[in-house]
Structure 1
Amino acid sequence: MRIEQLRERSDLGVISAGALKSLGVPNPWLKCRPGGPWQRMHPGVVLLHNGPPTRNQQLTAALLRAGPGAVVTGAEACRRHGLPARGPEIHVLIPGTARGSGTLILERASPMPPASTVDGFPLVSADRAVVDACRQLRSPDDATALIAAAIQKGRSTPESLRAEATTNRYGTKLVRAVLKELGRAESVAERDARRLSRKIRLTTQHWNATIANAHGVIIGRPDAWFDDVGLAWEIDSKAFHYGPRDYERTLARNSRYAAAGILVVQTLPTRLRDHPEQVARELKKAHRAAAARPRPPVRIVEVT
């Protein structure tokens, strides 16, 4: 059979040795020797050229090696979900048993997680992909960056990641530690903010309230809202601001505040912790400035 016909029977030029034999190539490994026209990708898997394989060809070969029912997880699945995961390995979950090789990780899963097709490949959910990717990491900073990106891009929530890490606890110590630290950092920042507002006698009962304009259009949900003067206080944690899209969202939020006539004070948790006196001065000045102009026509709304 001509090579063009073999390529037509392959998937992106990737084909099993068994399929080649059934198509009249009795010993395909002879063509995979050094200098040969083909190359061996995995045991029983052949690429019908000897040049560098594309990432899609590598993934196709990994799934062919893994067998029916296999799904992609880990860093590769994260990247295909639009998340900036590190790691060259291809991590595949399988219903049976098989051995990986090189940067191919084959892991038996029972039960198999749900999967969806993205660009022709079966991927686990973003939650499962993030948790499995973090299982291969050793750096808390890398794990934090990936988890923060998943949350900021709306692929995951802290609750869904926590549930996934609880369901699949093997090797998830780093994930659970990062989620715990992020949750602690947010709660500590809010505690410090409440304490400071009481200390400088700018108390407010409106924390995480939803603000809308006169027409009911949602403007924002500031960490603290001083309703008497229309002043918003945002404790902007760096933990969830890693990419340009996150920066754009912050700018868009501030633009909505400005368009509605709302003054906003932005504070990093580290400044709140290390320089509370400076933050207190900024907050009091902003409150005086807000009180000196007409209060904007905005109100607190209940969101169901």
Structure 2
Amino acid sequence: MNHNSPTYGGQTPSPVPPASPRPLHHLSGTRRVLSVAQLREHGVTAAATAERCRAGGPWQQFLPGVFLLHPGPATSEERLHAALLYAGRPAGTSVPQQKGFGDAMITGLAALALYGFSSAPPLPALEQIDVIVPSTRRLRSVGCVRLVRAHTPPIAEEVTGVPVAPVARALADAVAQLADAGTVRRLLSEAVRGGHCEPAAAVRELTLARLLNRPHVVDAVDSLLAEGRAIAEDRLYRLVREHQLPDPVWNVDLRLPGGPHLGGVDAYWPDHAVAVELDTRAPRQGEDEQWSEYARKREHLERLGLTVVYITPRKLRDHPEQQATVIRTALTASGDREPAAYVVVLPR
């Protein structure tokens, strides 16, 4: 008899039972934090999960729909993963995306701790973890997770394997929760001094978060901008020296002989009538007026035959060779221009 026939012994054989899920103990040896959707993918039913999360059981529910596959407290890494798994479930589906994190990303003090900020509390000391989610999500803050809703979430960066908001955005989300002026000042200062972000980027995010109506934030921003300018000036000094440009006169005011004040510049080459100004404007209220003042000064100087090179601190940091070429080109081209008007150079 053909045992491969559809009948055997006059009876239809029983269907082959589905493959049994792997033993549950295999999960504990891999990732120790999983969402309900991920457990389902491993063949773990809701009933089996509930059984293992009973009092004294080997698992525990840490957040709604997120489980620790061990008893006892969660580690800092587990708290981060749990927060992201809770916040990152895509609406209307249980299918994990981007490691199960969806569009969610860590922000605020937790993000700054991941970036290595010494002025941010260490992760184990944080009672809450801020997580950015799209504003359309219907989740709510729960447990250690505080949701930060964003109409247009920023592009995340990966730090220690988890998605993290860019430093400037994380700073703004941290400052939004802080009332201590000293802590705010230290965080902003470390962001600039440590090269994590430019002052203008930090102030832009603080402005978007509507935090510049808080006096302690405004005071910290003023210090931030002053420190940022000092760092940018130091980079400009190094650029001139390391790229062997002619020595300018530094930080001077320009005037017409017996005439009006033309404005201050960061570096000026009198023999070439070339000026460099650091564009350290911050996008705060009144930016249009500040930019108009920049434009008026530049237009006035160029009408007098001077060349004005504007350089942002970020370009100085990221592309010094390119900026040195721009300045050298302006100096070289000065010989082909009409002679500039004579201006008086005074210390600023």
TM-score band, normalised by the shorter chain? 0.5 to 0.7
TM-score normalised by structure 1 residue count: 0.58
Structure 1 residue runs of 5 or longer lacking an equivalent are: 190-205, 225-300
Partner of 2:319: none
Query: Alpha-carbon deviation of 1:63?
Result: 0.6
Partner of 2:58: 37
Query: Alpha-carbon deviation of 1:115?
Result: 1.1
Aligned residues: 209
Structure 2 residue runs of 5 or longer lacking an equivalent are: 1-21, 89-101, 253-323, 328-348
Please give the alpha-carbon distance, in whole angstroms, between the structure 1 residues aligned to 2:245 and 2:50.
66
3-state SS in 2 of match to 1:2: coil
1:65 to 83, 86, 90: 86
Query: What amino acid sits opposite 1:80 in the alignment?
Result: L
C-alpha distance 171-15 of structure 1, shift in aligned 2 (>3 A): farther
Query: Alpha-carbon deviation of 1:5?
Result: 3.0
Query: Alpha-carbon deviation of 1:57?
Result: 1.1
> Is the 8 Å Cα contact of residues 94 and 109 (structure 1) preserved in structure 2?
yes
Please give the alpha-carbon distance, in whole angstroms, between the structure 2 residues aligned to 1:186 and 1:76.
24
Please give the alpha-carbon distance, in whole angstroms, between the structure 2 residues aligned to 1:139 and 1:214.
41
Please give the alpha-carbon distance, in whole angstroms, between the structure 2 residues aligned to 1:114 and 1:214.
35
Please give the alpha-carbon distance, in whole angstroms, between the structure 1 residues aligned to 2:186 and 2:197.
13
C-alpha distance 207-117 of structure 1, shift in aligned 2 (>3 A): closer
Query: What amino acid sits opposite 2:170 in the alignment?
Result: A
Please tell me whether Structure 1 or Structure 2 has the larger radius of gyration of its CA atoms: 2
Partner of 1:90: 129
Please give the alpha-carbon distance, in whole angstroms, between the structure 1 residues aligned to 2:234 and 2:35.
60
Please give the alpha-carbon distance, in whole angstroms, between the structure 2 residues aligned to 1:171 and 1:214.
38
Partner of 2:46: 26
Partner of 1:179: 221
C-alpha distance 171-122 of structure 1, shift in aligned 2 (>3 A): farther
2:70 matches 1:49: yes
Query: Alpha-carbon deviation of 1:162?
Result: 0.8
Cα deviation per residue 1:15-46 (whole Å; 9 max; x = unaligned)?
A: 12244356133322332233221111101110
Q: Please list, as runs of the form range in 1=range in 2, the aligned pairs for 1:112-261 lying within 5 A after superposition.
A: 112-169=153-210, 173=214, 174-183=216-225, 210=237, 216=244
Cα deviation per residue 1:39-86 (whole Å; 9 max; x = unaligned)?
A: 111011101001322211111111110022111111111111121313
Please give the alpha-carbon distance, in whole angstroms, between the structure 1 residues aligned to 2:228 and 2:39.
57
Query: Alpha-carbon deviation of 1:142?
Result: 0.7
Query: Alpha-carbon deviation of 1:165?
Result: 0.9
Calculate the aligned-residue CA RMSD, in Å: 3.7
Query: What amino acid sits opposite 2:244 in the alignment?
Result: G
Partner of 2:265: none
C-alpha distance 107-37 of structure 1, shift in aligned 2 (>3 A): same
Please give the alpha-carbon distance, in whole angstroms, between the structure 2 residues aligned to 1:38 and 1:207.
56
* Structure 1 outlier segments of 4+, above 4 Å: 181-187, 206-209, 211-215, 221-224, 301-304
More helix by share: 1
2:34 to 4, 10, 15: 15
> Is the 8 Å Cα contact of residues 131 and 148 (structure 2) preserved in structure 1?
yes
Please give the alpha-carbon distance, in whole angstroms, between the structure 1 residues aligned to 2:138 and 2:116.
29
> Is the 8 Å Cα contact of residues 63 and 142 (structure 2) preserved in structure 1?
yes
3-state SS in 2 of match to 1:210: helix
Cα deviation per residue 1:192-220 (whole Å; 9 max; x = unaligned)?
A: xxxxxxxxxxxxxx9997266698399xx
Query: Alpha-carbon deviation of 1:157?
Result: 2.2
Please give the alpha-carbon distance, in whole angstroms, between the structure 2 residues aligned to 1:144 and 1:136.
14
Cα deviation per residue 1:256-292 (whole Å; 9 max; x = unaligned)?
A: xxxxxxxxxxxxxxxxxxxxxxxxxxxxxxxxxxxxx
> Is the 8 Å Cα contact of residues 116 and 124 (structure 1) preserved in structure 2?
yes
